[in-house]
Amino acid sequence: MLEKTTRINYLYDFYHSLLTEKQQSYMSLYYLDDYSLGEIAEEYDVSRQAVYDNIKRTEAMLEEYEEKLLLLQKFQGRVALLGKIKELINSDPPPKQALLDAVAELEKLD
């Protein structure tokens, strides 16, 4: 499940500001602070099922935001291109045209 957790963490990073305060609290306790559903339920005096449903709904919302805005996908594209650009800068001598091409690709991501 690490892959899914990593993805949700990234999506949470990008979109948490669009969530309600309660959604943010549950997600942050569950995914960042590694609380169990039972511990969150106790903390908020609600049923374990209510916490579970809220978190599942929030995960679905995060995926919907990503479908619409693609912030994670574009971020990953930029990370890859910036890695390539750094390699090119460190070549001797730095190949100008390849660098300019990579920068143009970066611009297209926006």
Taking CB under 8 A as the binding criterion, the range among 23-31, 33-41, 45-53, 100-108 that sits at the site for a copy of itself is 100-108
Site for a copy of itself in 25-64 (CB under 8 A): none
Out of 44, 69, 80, 108, point to the residue binding a copy of itself (CB under 8 A): 69
> Which residue, chain included where needed, has tokens 């590694």?
34
Site for a copy of itself contains 89 (CB under 8 A):
yes
Residue 45: strand, helix, or coil:
coil
Residue 17 DSSP code:
G
- Quick one: tokens of 95? 């190949």
Pick the closer one to a copy of itself by CB: 57 or 74.
74
Out of 46, 50, 61, 106, point to the residue binding a copy of itself (CB under 8 A): 106
What is the rounded distance in angstroms from the CA atom of residue 4 to the CA atom of residue 55? 14
Q: What are phi and psi of 52, to 5 degrees?
A: -60, -50
